[in-house]
Structure 1
Amino acid sequence: MAAADPGRVDAWRQRADHAIGSALDTLADSEPRLLASMRHATLLGGKRMRPLLVYATGTAFGVAEDALDPAAAAVELIHAYSLVHDDLPSMDDDALRRGQPTVHVAFDEGTAVLCGDALQSLAFAVLADAPQPPAARVAMLRELAVAAGAGGMCGGQARDLAATGAGILDIAALERLHAMKTGALLRAAVRLGALAADVDAGTAVRLDAFADALGLAFQIRDDLLDVESDSGTLGKTAGKDVAQDKATFPALIGVDASRQRLQSLAATMDEALAPFGERATALAALGRHAITRTY
C-alpha cells in the first residue's frame, strides 16, 4: 500500500487547528483568563491523531474536508479537556504537557477544572453545527458523548486510578482499561468520519476492527515511550508510569512482549483495511504511525 502524502496530513492538521481556533474565537467575550487557558490547552501543538483519523476516514469514503472540520475539532476538544483534567494534582499530577507547563501550573487548579469543562461543552456545540443531515448529526453527537463518558474515556481513567499501585490487573483487564481510556476516543474519531460518510454496515465493522487495534497499539506505544524515551522528546514527564506504579503493558508483560503485541496489532490493522485498497492509504499510515511514533 502506498505511503500517505505528508503534505495532505499536514494540511489536515492545519485544518483542525484552524477549526479549533475559530471555535475559540466565538468565545471572545468570555472571561479572559478562562479563554486564555483554553487556548493554552488546545493551540500549543500536539499530534492531532484524532482529527487526522476523522479526515482520513471521511475522505476515504467521499466526504469533503470542510464537511469534516466540525467533527475533527470536536474530538480534539474532548481530547484536550481530558488532558487538562488528567494533569491535575488529583489525577496524574503532571507539570509538563507538549513541552509547556500544564494548565493548572500555568494558571491555577480552579481555572484548569473550568477550562476542561468549557472545552467539553464547546466540543458538543461545534459538533451540533456540523453540516451532516440531522439524523447523522445526532448519531455523531451520541458517539462522541458515549466515547467520552463513563463507558469510555472517563470510565477508563477511573479504572486507571483504581489500578494505580494495586498491582492486581491481568492482561485482559489492562486491555479493557485502555480500550476505554485511550481507545474509545480514537475509535470515536474513526466512527465520526464513517457516520459523516454514511458507510454501510460491513464497512463500519471493518473500520471498528481497525480502530480498536489502533487504540490499543497507541497505548502500548505510549507505555513503551514512557520507559524508553525522555521528557524533552516526549514533551511530557518521562518515567511517570514507573514512579507512580501505573498499570502498563511493559510492567505487566515486559518490553519485548509489548513490542510483539504491537506487531500483532499492526497485522490486525492491515487485515481490516485490506479490502479498501488505495482509498485507505491515509488510515493505514496513521496506524503505522501509532506504532512507530517517537513522542
Structure 2
Amino acid sequence: MPTIGFEQHIAEVAARVEAGLEALLSERPEPGEIARPARLLAAMRHATLGGGKRLRPALLTAVARLFGAEGEEPLRAALAVECVHGYSLVHDDLPAMDDDDLRRGRPTVHRAFDEATAILAGDALQALAFATLADPATDPDPAVRAELVLVLARAAGPGGMAGGQMLDLAAEGRFREDGPERLGEAEVLRLQAMKTGALIEASAEMGAILGRAGGGDRAAIAAYARALGAAFQIADDLLDAEGAADAVGKATGKDAAAGKATLVGMLGVGGARARLDALTATALEALGRFGPEAEPLRGAARFVAAREH
C-alpha cells in the first residue's frame, strides 16, 4: 500500500466528498421517499457543497485505509459524518444559537434562505446521514452498519455534540438571570470534548470499525483522535482570537465578545499554543505502534496545529 502525505490525502478526499455529496443531494427521490422540495435541497447544498476543510472525512478514510479498507464504503461513511457536521453548523449559526452571518466565506443558510428553511435543512441533513450509514452499500455486514450508526449517533447526541452546544449556551449565561457561571478548566475541556471533539473522535473510530481493527489498535486510534479533537478546538479558538474574518471565512472575535470560556481566555495565547503543541505531541505518540502507513494521520495532527483557516 503506497504511503501518501496528509495534504495529498485531504485534497483527494475533498474532491471525492464533493462529488459524493452532489450525488446524495440529487433531485431524484430515493426508494421510500416521495419528493425532494427544491428549496430544501438548495439549502442543504448551500450548507455542504463548495467549502470546508473536509477534515473529518479525511480522518475517517485515512484510518480505514490504515486497516486496509478503501473504496466507496469508507467514503459513504465519511459522507454521513460530513452531513452531520453540516447540520450542526447550520443549526449553530442560527440566531437562537451563535447568531452568525458568515460561514466558509459565504452567508450562513438562514441568511441565504430563511430561519425555517435552515432548521429543516439541518434536520434533513441529519436524517440523510443515518440513512446513508444504514444502507447496505456502506458495508455488507449489518452489525458493522449498526455500530457505525451507534457511534455517530452518540457523538452527535445529548452526550456529545448537542450536549456540548447546550453547555456552551449555558456558559454564556443564556439560562441564568444573574449571568453565566464561571467555568473552570475541567469544565471547558469537557464542553469542548463534547461540542467539537466527539465528532472528530467518532470519525476516526468509524474508520477503525470499517477496517475491522483490533482492540489495541482501536484504543490507540481513540487516544490519537481525542488529542486531535482537543487540539483542533484550541486552534479554532486561536483563530477566533487572532485571525482575520476574510482568511478564516467567518466572523472572528466572537468568543470574547460573547464572554465564552475558552482555553485561550484562560491561558492566554502563549499558554494555549503551548497546550496545542502538547496535544499534538500526544496525538503523534498514540500512533507509535503503527509504521509509515500511518503517516497521513501524523500529517493530520500537524495540519491541525498549523491551520490558518
TM tier, smaller: over 0.9
Offset of residue 95 of structure 1: 0.2
Change (3 A) 1:256 1:7: closer
Deviation at 1:167, TM superposition (A): 5.2
- Runs (4 or more) in structure 1 with deviation over 3 Å come to 5-8, 26-29
Q: What residue number does 1:61 align with?
A: 67
Deviations 1:144-178 (A, max 9, x none): 00000000000000000001152511111100000
Consecutive unaligned residues in structure 1, runs of 5 or more: none
Alignment match, 1:199:
213
**Contact between 1:167 and 1:247, CA under 8 Å: does it hold in 2?**
no
Structure 2: segments with no counterpart, 5+ residues: 30-34, 174-179
Q: In the alignment, does 2:7 pair up with 1:21?
A: no
Match for 1:124 among 130, 143, 168?
130
Measured at CA, do residues 63 and 255 of structure 1 come closer, stay the same or move farther in structure 2, by a change above 3 Å?
same
C-alpha separation between the residues in 1 aligned to 2:70 and 2:51?
24
Higher helix share: 1
Matched, 1:267 2:281: yes
Equivalence for 1:189: 203
Residues 179 and 215 in structure 1, CA contact (< 8 A), matched pair in contact too: yes
Q: Distance in 2 between matches of 1:207 and 1:132?
A: 24
- Flag the 1:27–1:108 CA change in 2: closer, same or farther, 3 A: farther
Q: Deviations for 1:75-128, whole angstroms, at most 9, x for unmatched residues?
A: 000000000000000000000000000000000000000000000000001111
Summarize deviations over 1:238-288 as a string: whole Å, max 9, x none: 111111111111111211110110111011011100110111111111111
Structure 2 residue aligned with 1:246 = 260
* Cα distance change on mapping 1:26 and 1:280 into 2, 3 Å: farther
Query: How far apart are residue 26 of structure 1 and its match?
Result: 5.7
Alpha-carbon offset, residue 31 of structure 1: 1.0
Say whether the 8 Å CA contact 1:132–1:196 is kept in structure 2: no
Query: Which residue does the alignment assign to 2:83?
Result: 77
Select 1:113's aligned residue among 119, 137, 140: 119
Check the 8 A contact 2:18/2:50 in 1, yes or no.
Answer: no
Distance 2:100 2:133 in 1: 30
Aligned residue number for residue 164 of structure 1: 172
1:16 shift after superposition: 1.3
Q: Name the CA distance, whole Å, in 1 between partners of 2:273 and 2:28.
A: 44
Matched residue, 1:99: 105
Q: Structure 1 residues 254, 132: closer, same or farther in 2, change over 3 A?
A: farther
SS in 2 for 1:198: coil
Counting only pairs closer than 5 Å after superposition, residues 210-225 of structure 1 correspond to structure 2 as 210-225=224-239
Deviation at 1:6, TM superposition (A): 3.3
TM-score by length of 2: 0.92
Shift of 1:19: 1.5
Tell whether the 8 Å contact from 1:70 to 1:127 is kept in structure 2 after alignment.
yes
Structure-2 residue corresponding to 1:32 = 38
Q: 1:264 and 1:167 mapped to 2: Cα distance?
A: 28
Identity %: 49
Which SS does the other structure have where 1:254 is aligned? helix
Structure 2 match to 1:173: 187
Is the CA contact 2:64–2:211 (under 8 Å) kept in the aligned structure 1? yes
